[in-house]
Structure 1
Amino acid sequence: MSTRRFSRRAAALAAAIGAAATLITACGSDVPAPLRVGTDGTPEMQVAAQIYAGALARTGVRVDVGGRASADRRLLDEAAQGDVDLFPAFTGELLTALMPGPDAVSSEDVEEAVNRALPQGVTIGDPAAVNDRRQLILAQTVSDADHLTDLAQCGAVPPGLPLVSTGELTAEEKQAFSVCRFGAITERLTPQQVADRVRGGQALGTLTGLEAATALAGRDDVTALRSAESGPMAQDLVPVFRASLIGKPQMKALSRVAGELTTADLAELAARVERGADPAAVANEWIGTHGV
């Protein structure tokens, strides 16, 4: 961990410990008000919110996960105003919500830029091993033939191959993949369709980290090219919270989640929610299994 990241977290923790002893007290009552957890409503963030909430609840804090979904920008505003106390987010999406045209790419640079731009009194915790950064997908035979191990080497791929994608690519993502000299773009396919289109070596594809964790599992005909420095902006999962409400036990609980939760975990849990499972039940099962 860099000195700047350690110093920032140490300062936030020191400022929070005194104020967080009893968290926040409801007006006219000795019963602490619940810590309010928000979410953007997507399956992965519903699960992440419930995991953070469940981990915090094990420290003795009352927690309430809100039912209303809000975008990151609104959640940031609500946190700054004291209407939401914690919510999960991906660092790249946070940075885009905080400032126009950010140029940070790597995980550390994006995290530092987010911390500089966050509203006063709002901070982020340790990133989990969950990365939803969009990746370039190609046939394993093409990767092996040209000994490709990094996105920066994609110029060795024959130019003009069509590019297939699950979502609508941003200008920043197109620029990040331009080293591949791709041809026509087809968007809004399913992750499985993308994997099937590229396996023969006649197309390139893109998947988010969560999509790749599911669509590429168990396959040896398709692989991903990643790059920490030259790819699209990092998208690491972090808890965003009001620093004054998170004491030492709660910081430890959030750090335990960061140390256990992986991209494959969240992809599998979110898939269960998409199939109709209750996010709280799915999260509690994961918490119990991992001892968070």
Structure 2
Amino acid sequence: MYRGAAFALVTALALTACGSSDDDSNPLTGSSGDSGDGKAIVVGSANFPENQLLAEIYAQALEDKGLKVTRKFDIGAREVYYDQVVKGGISVFPEYNGALLAVAVDPKSTATATDEINAELKQKLPKSVEILDSAAAEDKDSVTVTADIAAKHNLKTLADLKPVAGDMTIGGGSEFKTRNQGLVGLKKIYGVEFGKFQPLDAGAQSTLLKLLKEDTVQAANLYTTDPAIIEDKLVVLEDPKNLFSSQNVTPLVYKSAVNDEAKSALNAISAKLTTEDLLEMMKKLVNDKEDASAVAEEWLTKAGLAS
């Protein structure tokens, strides 16, 4: 679930922030806070800017409550970080509920709506972890094409790809190849098989956009809060069979590492965060090249969640 020229800046910040959970320094704000019991809450993020921004929002909100926080950003894809949360190496992670269920918890699940997804997560997650409240904010996977490709092949929905995908290349994060909410599901649900897949790191969306606009790839797995979709008049293909489930921003926490005060702070974020907020913040990162820490602080202040 962003992207553009600011990727390098945001990723550089994330790499600076990445470190072991024994490092209590805060590389983005210079403070560490105090949890009262000496234990730091380790806030993690995946390897793409939007998730790093959400993790920074979580971290700052927890610090505002006087809690001790360590940042461990830019870890990688869900296949890498999920086990770290389950085993307690990471205390708090900004997740996307539909992808969490379909990729890490139950790949056979057919749940698509937010309530259905969360009910299954609460039932099926390992006992060491739990989800907190989901935000209205949502950032879904998509298959997106340029306006020229859409017009050339009369593409409106994912089903429309079936007769033409064999002559096309789709680009996306490397994990898109093996996920049900990816090439596997496109074939199973829509009968769509692309001629070639171009894998990229999830943080390389600026490269993916460049390849799409140059027609090196004819379709791309973009996230729906990517400002480039509007700016470049790209076409997000409709998904009438719900291959891509609801993807509400949802805190995933290691139970024993977060107290009620921390949970309350995270739930307060979910109560305020909207998809429009995500779009606005990502435009500031991508278009205005603002600092991720500053964008997070500005949103928390505007939402009344920072003192």
TM-score (norm 1): 0.66
Residue 241 (structure 1) aligns with: 253
Residue 9 (structure 2) aligns with: none
Cα offset, 1:48, TM superposition:
0.8
Residue deviations 1:12-42 (CA, integer Å, cap 9, x gap): xxxxxxxxxxx97517xxxxx5543222354
CA distance in 2, matches of 1:162, 1:144: 13
Secondary structure of 1:197's match? Answer: coil
Across the two proteins, how many residue pairs are aligned to each other?
254
1:176 to 185, 190, 195: 185
Rate the CA distance shift 1:146–1:40 in 2: closer, same or farther, 3 A: closer
Cα offset, 1:174, TM superposition:
1.9
TM-score (norm 2): 0.63
CA distance in 1, matches of 2:67, 2:149: 53
- Correspondence 1:116 to 2:118: no
Residue 185 (structure 1) aligns with: 196
Secondary structure of 2:123's match? Answer: helix
Residue 141 (structure 2) aligns with: 133
Residue 66 (structure 1) aligns with: 71
Rate the CA distance shift 1:153–1:115 in 2: closer, same or farther, 3 A: farther
CA distance in 2, matches of 1:61, 1:260: 28
In the alignment, is the contact (CA less than 8 A) between 2:170 and 2:220 conserved in 1? yes
Provide structure 1 residue ranges, at least 5 long, that are not aligned to the other structure: 1-22, 28-32
CA distance in 2, matches of 1:133, 1:159: 18
- Correspondence 1:279 to 2:288: no
Residue deviations 1:53-106 (CA, integer Å, cap 9, x gap): 223444x34241324654546755554555543111233543356346434362
In the alignment, is the contact (CA less than 8 A) between 2:145 and 2:236 conserved in 1? yes
1:197 to 215, 222, 226: 215
In the alignment, is the contact (CA less than 8 A) between 1:135 and 1:224 conserved in 2? yes
- Correspondence 1:223 to 2:235: yes
Describe how 1:1-292 pairs up with structure 2 within 5 A.
Answer: 25-26=36-37, 33-58=39-64, 60-67=65-72, 70=75, 72=78, 76-80=82-86, 82-95=88-101, 98-99=104-105, 101-104=107-110, 106-108=112-114, 109-120=116-127, 122-124=129-131, 125-139=133-147, 142=150, 146=154, 148=156, 150-155=157-162, 158=164, 160-168=166-174, 169-171=176-178, 172=180, 173-178=182-187, 179=190, 181=192, 183-188=194-199, 190-197=208-215, 204-209=218-223, 213-220=226-233, 222-227=234-239, 229-242=241-254, 245-247=259-261, 249-250=264-265, 252-259=267-274, 262-265=277-280, 267-268=282-283, 271=286, 278-292=291-305
CA distance in 2, matches of 1:285, 1:165: 34
In the alignment, is the contact (CA less than 8 A) between 2:97 and 2:118 conserved in 1? yes
In the alignment, is the contact (CA less than 8 A) between 2:138 and 2:275 conserved in 1? no
Percent identical pairs in the alignment equals 17
Provide structure 2 residue ranges, at least 5 long, that are not aligned to the other structure: 1-33, 200-206
Cα offset, 1:281, TM superposition:
2.5
**Farther-moved stretch of structure 1 (99-108 vs 234-243):** 99-108
